[in-house]
Amino acid sequence: MSARFAPGDRVRVREWFPPGHIRTPYYVRGKRGEIERICGRFNNPERLAYGRADDPKVLYRVRFAQTEVWGRAERPSDTIDIEIYEHWLEPDK
């Protein structure tokens, strides 16, 4: 499994709004986080949704600061983990 990112890498979710079935929540697009782990390689749900099990992608668990996602948090240290496919992530420069 050749993964583009490794645990600890800083990434940004693509600010991307394609049509179709998408499993990257709207609220996290464009936000910056850190790779928490590589979950494995799974068929891309964006293709599975239309009956095609032909597009394996690496899935990552990405950790975001709640302050980054919502602009505020009950405690500044609060985080949220979201599982996101590789094609939705870019390196955070």
Partner 1 sequence: MDSHPRGMHDLGGEPAGEIDRAEHQNDFWEQRVDALMRALGTLDPPLVRTDELRRAIEGIGADAYDSMSYYERWIAAITEVLLEKGVISVNELSGKIAEIEKREAE
Binding residues (CB under 8 A) for partner 1: these are: 15, 17, 19-22, 25-30, 45, 48-51, 53, 69-70
**Contact at 8 Å (CB) between 31 and 12?**
yes
Q: Which is nearer to partner 1, 25 or 91 (CB)?
A: 25
Q: How far is the CB of 80 from partner 1 (least distance, A)?
A: 10
Q: Which is nearer to partner 1, 6 or 53 (CB)?
A: 53
Question: How many residues belong to the chain?
Answer: 93
Give the count of alpha carbons within 13 A of 27, CB side only. Answer: 10
What tokens does 10 get?
């800083």
Q: Which is nearer to partner 1, 51 or 76 (CB)?
A: 51
What tokens does 38 get?
């590589």
